A and B are shown apart, each in its own frame.
Chain A
Amino acid sequence: MKEFSDEELERYSRHIILQDVGIEGQEKIANSKILVIGAGGLGSPVALYLAAAGVGEIGIVDGDVVDLSNLQRQVIHATADIGVPKVLSAKAKMEAINPNVKVTIYQKFLDASNILDIVKGYDFVIDGTDNFSAKFLINDACVLANVPYSHGGILRFGGQTMTIKPHESACYACVFDAPPPANAIPTCSSAGILGAVAGMLGTIQAAEALKYIVGVGEPLYNRLLTFDAKTMNFRNVNFKKNPKCRVCGGEGIKEIRDYEAVVCEAKL
């Protein structure tokens, strides 16, 4: 078990005084390894809060560089970072917030050839990606590797999230089956997103990860939390694991394969 220094006891004091966390919970956080896939709108708040919380090791995956149009919502990156690989920009901010955290960077995009090996080494995974082929690939990999994860999706003023414990709770494919046809998808840069909505959803994902690590409360298992920031209505839709699920049901999947990448210029 980890022995906290005086600096760490002071730094994490507001966690430690929480009855449901305490020194034991903070030790669990310090001994945990969490992978954040995507250092964008969702990954930014997640990575910042997990670093601040003292997660022992955080992996962060992104193959992109910071662009001016990212800065309206990707709050881990600054104006001076334009052109810098997102993983390097993110790592610098995370270490600035909390030098006790070990940050491992993966400056690449995940695909069927690399995702399983990376995911396997972590206790929990955050989906902060921006396309369906990646979201379904992450679901497949987490089910195959039996690693719990948080699904997150945002669009315009809305967000949705669920937490998945493979083989115990419903997976993303139990609910959404497979990527929608490319010509129907309004996910790309032209659909738009209110910056603060990314923060709302990302912080929910960070809270779910920390709840799971500490073992407190009720994760978003078997339910999809959706919200509309225009009305500020939040809703939980309940469901069960689908025994016929293409990914985690009966036969299920046995190996990982890439989903067809979606072209962004399709109709809105």
Chain B
Amino acid sequence: MKLTINGDVKEIKDGIVLSELLVIEDVEQPDMVSVQLNDEFLTKDTYATTTLKEGDEINFLYFMGGGA
């Protein structure tokens, strides 16, 4: 299935859940991203049960805490 991940269209195997996509996309520290699926932000406790489907748009927004 085709997913749009951080603005790029990618071919990803069908039927996976969000927590599997985090592994496929090399998100090493899921605690350091906020995940947006089709305009909604997901809570971490739903990652393992959120099944992705063709055409979904996913954004990984990284926490950036620096500034000094």
Interface residue ranges, A against B (CB under 8 Å): 38, 40-43, 70, 74, 127-132, 135, 152-155, 158-160, 174-177, 180-181, 184-187, 191, 193, 198, 224, 226, 235, 237-240, 242
Q: Is the beta-carbon distance between A41 and B66 smaller than 8 angstroms? A: yes
State in angstroms the CA–CA spacing of A193 and B65 once bound together: 11
| Residues from chain B with Cβ under 8 Å of A186 in the complex | 32
Q: Is the beta-carbon distance between A160 and B64 smaller than 8 angstroms? A: yes
A interface SS class: mixed
State in angstroms the CA–CA spacing of A42 and B67 once bound together: 5
Q: Which 6 A-B pairs have the closest CB atoms?
A: A153-B64, A40-B68, A187-B65, A130-B68, A184-B31, A154-B66
27 A-B pairs within 8 Å (CB atoms) are namely: A41-B66, A41-B68, A42-B68, A70-B68, A128-B68, A129-B68, A130-B67, A135-B65, A153-B65, A153-B67, A155-B62, A159-B64, A160-B61, A160-B64, A177-B34, A177-B41, A180-B31, A181-B31, A184-B31, A184-B32, A185-B63, A187-B65, A226-B62, A235-B7, A237-B61, A239-B41, A240-B39
Say yes or no for B49: interface residue by CB 8 A criterion: no
Q: How far is the CB of A106 from chain B (nearest CB, A)?
A: 16
Say yes or no for B50: interface residue by CB 8 A criterion: no
State in angstroms the CA–CA spacing of A240 and B36 once bound together: 11
A237-B59, A239-B41, A242-B41 known; A175-B65 Cβ under 8 A: no
A129-B68, A235-B6 known; A153-B63 Cβ under 8 A: yes
A174-B41, A175-B41, A240-B39 known; A131-B6 Cβ under 8 A: no
Q: 8 Å CB contacts to A: which residues of B33-68? A: 34, 36, 39, 41, 43, 59, 61-68
Among the listed B7, B32, B61, B64, which residue makes an inter-chain contact with A154, where contact means beta carbons less than 8 Å apart? B64
Minimum CB distance partner of B60 in chain A:
A237
State in angstroms the CA–CA spacing of A74 and B67 once bound together: 10
Minimum CB distance partner of A74 in chain B:
B68
State in angstroms the CA–CA spacing of A240 and B63 once bound together: 18
Q: How far is the CB of A194 from chain B (nearest CB, A)?
A: 11
Q: 8 Å CB contacts to A: which residues of B1-46? A: 6-7, 29, 31-32, 34, 36, 39, 41, 43
Q: Is the beta-carbon distance between B67 and A154 smaller than 8 angstroms? A: yes
| Residues from chain A with Cβ under 8 Å of B34 in the complex | 175-177
Q: Is the beta-carbon distance between B66 and A176 smaller than 8 angstroms? A: no
Among the listed A43, A132, A158, which residue makes an inter-chain contact with B62, where contact means beta carbons less than 8 Å apart? A158
